[in-house]
Amino acid sequence: EEEPTLAAIVEAAAQNVIFIASLYRDFDGGVLTAMKKVTLLKPLEKGSYKVESVISARLDNFSIFTFKLSQDDEVFVEGQMSIVMNARKEKLK
């Protein structure tokens, strides 16, 4: 019910990436370590948005992602984030 903040957008994008990576890789959670070049392209309003993240670089458990926030094919925010994933103690079966 509130207008989203840039911090909330980056956190949502990071949680999404960490969750997906934990499902399909040998990781169990992770930590957002940096936000970079986060740009507000258009004013944000209340509503539903789509967050898309793409891996830009990866070294072991450290990854850099580009992300964008859009609504009806209009991009409102774009930027980069770094995430360090936690190694899973036991492999998924």
Residues 61 and 85: beta-carbon distance below 8 Å: yes
pLDDT at 69: 92
Whether residue 1 has pLDDT greater than 70: no
For residue range 8-46, list pLDDT tens digits in order: 888 888 888 888 878 777 788 888 888 899 999 999 888
Q: Which of 33, 28, 71 is nearest to 52 (CA)?
A: 71
Mean pLDDT of the 56-67 span: 89
pLDDT at 80: 92
Please return the burial class of 38, using the count of CB atoms within 10 Å of its CB with bins 0-12, 13-18 and 19+: middle
pTM of the predicted protein model: 0.77
